[in-house]
């Protein structure tokens, strides 16, 4: 019996698309009904939670500044770093200037809260460190800081002002309250740290004024140069000859401080003389300084 050969499969013809009548196309459109979103009032507890969360978002820079201040005051960095500045650089990637600007902005924020006429209830408060940088750098009185912010908010139409607007208000206030700089180049002054973190540990140190600006001076001490506001300086009111002696002494101390791998005892001598704000040396002090200078060959440089 001869087997029946298998039937060949033939591809089914694709049905030709039928063109729908316009009325039929309209009938196929699906209409989706969107339910209206019901707006419900927040409970008192929810309103309180919302306000707290919003304040956290708006004042994140303030919380950061407070944390940095506590880390510094309690020296919580001491187990891993010698200085607070080194710790902030390694842990957060912050430069020295950035760290102290953040802490200064935090202090300004607190002053604005305290001294605003409305106690901060009607006027929007700062939301970023950038808005307060110019205020922090100007080192205005706490009440003046609040005045600056209040005027900046007014110029911004009742909204949070930009850093540029705040800067313009600071400039106007400083121009109105400009006080002539009472110091002169070559004068000998004592550093008065007050609330300036850059002068930490420098209280009582004397230095030579090398530059006089509108609101600040650059002071040269045995271990560095510091640009400070005039309120952080106190003149020794020395005669010109006494000023020249102190200028020469400052130069000698700076040369000694620049010696590499110097003995620790040299540091003690430098710190002691760096705080003795008198236009003379005792006989023993003069001998000690001379011996140390000869030890490192600095006496030959001075003769040249």
Domain for residue 7, yes or no? no
Query: Are 169 and 211 part of one and the same domain?
Result: no
pLDDT class of 7 with cuts at 50, 70, 90:
low
CATH of the domain at 285: 2.30.30.30
Does residue 273 carry a pLDDT above 90?
yes
CB 143 within 8 A of CB 134: no
Domain final residue, candidates 150, 176, 202: 176
Domain for residue 230, yes or no? yes
Query: Are 160 and 226 part of one and the same domain?
Result: no
Q: Lowest-confidence range among 17-26, 131-140, 227-236, 294-303? A: 17-26
Query: Are 202 and 280 part of one and the same domain?
Result: yes
Mean pLDDT, range 258-280, rounded to an integer = 92
Domain final residue, candidates 121, 146, 176: 176
Query: Are 146 and 215 part of one and the same domain?
Result: no
User: How far, in Å, are 129, 220, 227 from residue 137 at the CA level?
Assistant: 12, 21, 12
- Residue 262 lies in domain: 181-304
Domain for residue 214, yes or no? yes
Query: Are 185 and 288 part of one and the same domain?
Result: yes
pLDDT class of 19 with cuts at 50, 70, 90:
low
Cα–Cα dist 198/154, whole Å: 33
User: 161 CB contacts (<8 Å, ≥6 apart)?
Assistant: 131, 149, 152, 153, 155
Query: Are 125 and 209 part of one and the same domain?
Result: no
Q: Lowest-confidence range among 36-40, 82-86, 154-158, 252-256? A: 36-40
Domain final residue, candidates 141, 176, 211: 176
Does residue 121 carry a pLDDT above 60?
no
| pLDDT for residue 49 | 81
Domain for residue 154, yes or no? yes
Helix-helix angle 283-295:240-257, to 10 degrees = 40
Q: Lowest-confidence range among 90-104, 134-148, 167-181, 233-247? A: 167-181
Query: Are 167 and 63 part of one and the same domain?
Result: yes
| Total structural domains within the chain | 2
Query: Are 101 and 132 part of one and the same domain?
Result: yes
Query: Are 205 and 154 part of one and the same domain?
Result: no
203-251 pLDDT, tens per residue? Answer: 899 999 999 987 789 999 999 999 988 889 999 999 999 999 999 999 9
Does residue 4 carry a pLDDT above 60?
no
Does residue 195 carry a pLDDT above 80?
no
Cα–Cα dist 169/160, whole Å: 14
| pLDDT for residue 172 | 87
Query: Are 155 and 187 part of one and the same domain?
Result: no
Query: Are 197 and 130 part of one and the same domain?
Result: no
Residues found in the chain: 304
Domain for residue 13, yes or no? no
CATH of the domain at 162: 1.10.10
Query: Are 251 and 160 part of one and the same domain?
Result: no
pLDDT class of 100 with cuts at 50, 70, 90:
confident
| pLDDT for residue 11 | 46
47-98 pLDDT, tens per residue? Answer: 888 777 766 666 688 888 899 989 988 888 888 988 888 889 999 898 888 8
């Amino acid at each position: 019996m001869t087997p029946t050969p298998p039937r060949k499969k033939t591809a089914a013809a694709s049905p030709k698309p039928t063109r729908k009548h316009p009325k039929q196309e309209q009938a196929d459109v699906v209409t989706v009904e969107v339910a209206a979103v019901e707006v419900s009032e927040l409970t008192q507890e929810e309103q309180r939670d919302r306000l707290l969360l919003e304040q956290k978002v708006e004042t994140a820079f303030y919380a950061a500044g407070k944390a940095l201040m506590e880390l510094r005051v309690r020296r919580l960095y001491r187990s891993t770093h010698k200085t607070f500045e080194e710790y902030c650089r390694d842990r957060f990637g912050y430069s020295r200037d950035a760290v102290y600007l953040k802490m200064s902005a935090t202090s300004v924020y607190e002053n604005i809260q305290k001294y605003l006429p409305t106690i901060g209830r009607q006027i929007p408060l700062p939301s970023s460190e950038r808005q307060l940088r110019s205020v922090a750098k100007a080192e205005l009185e706490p009440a003046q800081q609040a005045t600056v912010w209040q005027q900046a908010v007014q110029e911004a139409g009742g909204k949070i002002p930009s850093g540029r607007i705040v800067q313009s208000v600071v400039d106007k206030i400083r121009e109105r309250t400009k006080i002539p700089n009472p110091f002169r180049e070559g004068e000998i002054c004592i550093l008065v740290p007050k609330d300036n973190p850059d002068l930490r540990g420098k209280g009582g140190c004397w230095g030579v004024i090398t530059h006089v600006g509108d609101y600040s001076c650059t002071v040269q001490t045995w271990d560095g140069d510091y640009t400070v506001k005039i309120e952080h300086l106190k003149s020794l009111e020395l005669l010109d000859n006494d000023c020249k002696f102190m200028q020469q002494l400052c130069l000698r101390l700076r040369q000694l401080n620049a010696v590499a791998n110097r003995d620790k005892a040299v540091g003690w001598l430098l710190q002691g003389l760096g705080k003795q704000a008198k236009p003379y040396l005792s006989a023993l002090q003069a001998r000690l300084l001379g011996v140390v200078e000869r030890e490192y060959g600095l006496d030959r440089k001075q003769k040249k």
